[in-house]
Structure 1
Amino acid sequence: MAILSKLLLLFVLIPVEGVAKTYTADLSNSQWYLSASIFECSLTHPIPRYGKGVFYHEAGEKLTFYLNANANPMKTGKAALVIEAPQWRPGNNVQSLGYVPVSESSKPIVVGRTKARNMMEGLMDGMTPTFTRRSWYNDESIRVRVSSVNFPDFYNDYLNCVASLLPVNFRQVERTKVLFKVDKAELTEDDRKILEKVVIYLKADNTVTSIVIDGHTDSSGRRIYNRRLSKERSEVVRTYFIENGIPEEMITTRYHGERYPVAKNNSKKNKAKNRRTTVRLERGTRMASSSSSNASPEG
């Protein structure tokens, strides 16, 4: 009974050829293109008359696959995703990967890491990942197939690219926060690990031209004491960057005492949030160094 149910499910998911409009590259025009850098890796597959399919892995993120449609013919909802034999190698070996959301956008389908990995494994085996969904304009089914032809030629180079990716991307280090213990301006081992990732990124991306470091305290203590403590907190982060090879002229340090809390200083938990130094990376403009500022800091 279970086998019969699975067969009926696959019958529903995979329309009989001729009642579905299919977008696919054939043997003669199936191509893959690799784009590789330390910031991102992508494998792009043009799909004639539809658009393209892309395996995309950004530094610090997980692998995804997405369809980029010139004009999305699928109705919003859920599309069935299966791994099946290609048109030129008919067979009954079909693996269902379940359903994936279809949105109304230029990237109507985005597939997460697990299913994307299954798709890659299927392509390496010469199989064809296929998306099936009702069209938005009539009852016709739309099928989008990802061809395995020429995929293995680029796969190893893609894996080498992924192995060379930075551990983080710009969004993940653009705003970084280090928290401090009461009356302390010392970096812990965990703090150093956080800042190490920022250093790694800074050395790789020459579009980052300035670093703004803002020191803060909670409301405990006198204002003059807090201002001095916030300066020490910003300076300890600045020193870490310089000792790890970041040019001193890129760095601006500012210290604000208790003036800019991110939470009310009415509990131990909230005060812990305010005992912080924030690091902001900026692209495109080099800032002059200064020891303090009256401008309201971010973070």
Structure 2
Amino acid sequence: MKKTIITLLLCVFVSQANAGIRQYGADLEHANWQLTNNSRLECTLSHQIPNYGEAKFYSTASRKMNMEFELDMMRLPDTYSLAEVRSVAPNWRPGKNGRTIANMKLHKQFAPSLPKKVAWNMLNELEQGMNPTFYYNDWYSDNDLISVGISTAKFNRAYQEFIGCVGNLLNYNFDDISYTVLNYQFGGDSLTKSSKKRLTMIAEYLTLDQNLALVLIDGYTDSYGGRNDNLKISNRRANTIREHFVKSGIDPSRIEAKGYGEKRHIAANNTVIGRAQNRRVVIRMEQP
């Protein structure tokens, strides 16, 4: 029923026979696309909509390609409803047919968003010179229709920068490395090959994310050797990792390192595999 009402109102809008329509969109003079986040952790392509808010496409560091669109309204929805998302031809392309892209849910007091497939679809429409436009009933007046247009003007240059940023995102994120166990070869401070690779990933992430509150480094050993010696070894291992991060440019005040020796075994010490698991450094990261 709601979709039927929106479609009927949309037809009225196209014929411009209804005076109860409020239109929002940036004209050629005020159209402004910007790459507001440009890092290996997040890329954000933003477009200001005068007197309404901001349209944002963003992608974040992850093992899987991701993309999302958000319509950041100055005045958030006051009730649940649907908005129809259409691709509309600009005035300079008369006769070009538009099409419906998706329906977007509007939740009370939340900025609405659209998932990856729809977001990429909208970007493709913009690249082709079309204007994605949102139509929905005003939640303060059921007789009024809101139209919010995203302008294609001045889009392509910022879009190319955005695509370059997305292609340079890390292929892992905070959740992938927030709790990491590094293992050592027997009888020394040499990390295993896989742990060296993991350490490089963590150091790279820490140089990029300056918002991490604290990095905790805990060192452990197996039960071979004397307890005092093992305590010293575990402290040395933990502090070696700390020094590695500091040399990578991480603020020393963000890092705490401590050795626990033979304490807190996670496996039996009577097997080669168990002892290898106990020879470890655990890295924990906390966000504010």
Give the match's secondary structure for 2:23: strand
Structure 1's 115 and 211: CA in aligned 2 closer, same or farther, altered over 3 A? same
Q: 1:176 — aligned with what?
A: 179
Unaligned 5+ runs, structure 1: 1-7, 266-270, 285-299
Any residues of structure 2 matched to 1:203-282 within 5 Å, and which?
A: 203-204=207-208, 211-215=215-219, 228=230, 232=234, 235=237, 238-239=240-241, 242=244, 245-246=247-248, 250=252, 252-256=256-260, 277-281=281-285
Contact 1:20-1:141 at 8 Å conserved across structures: yes
Shift of 1:45: 1.1
Q: 2:67 — aligned with what?
A: 63
Any residues of structure 2 matched to 1:1-299 within 5 Å, and which?
A: 11=7, 14-17=10-13, 18=18, 20-38=21-39, 39-60=41-62, 62-72=66-76, 75-91=79-95, 93-105=97-109, 108-139=111-142, 140-168=144-172, 171-172=174-175, 175-178=178-181, 187-204=191-208, 211-215=215-219, 228=230, 232=234, 235=237, 238-239=240-241, 242=244, 245-246=247-248, 250=252, 252-256=256-260, 277-281=281-285
Contact 1:231-1:254 at 8 Å conserved across structures: no
Shift of 1:179: 6.8
AA in 1 matched with 2:282: T
AA in 2 matched with 1:122: E
Identity in percent:
28
Q: 2: distance between equivalents of 1:233 and 1:62?
A: 40
Shift of 1:188: 4.8
Number of equivalences: 266
What's the TM-score once normalised by structure 2's chain length? 0.69
Unaligned 5+ runs, structure 2: 269-273
Deviations 1:156-203 (A, max 9, x none): 22222333334455x44772321769x999855444443322111234
What's the TM-score once normalised by structure 1's chain length? 0.66
Q: 1: distance between equivalents of 2:122 and 2:285?
A: 37
Shift of 1:30: 1.9
Structure 1's 54 and 278: CA in aligned 2 closer, same or farther, altered over 3 A? same
Q: 1: distance between equivalents of 2:34 and 2:206?
A: 29
Q: 1:295 — aligned with what?
A: none
Q: 2: distance between equivalents of 1:248 and 1:147?
A: 41
Contact 2:207-2:250 at 8 Å conserved across structures: no
AA in 2 matched with 1:200: E
Shift of 1:115: 1.3
CA RMSD of aligned residues (A): 4.6
Structure 1's 278 and 11: CA in aligned 2 closer, same or farther, altered over 3 A? same
Shift of 1:78: 3.1
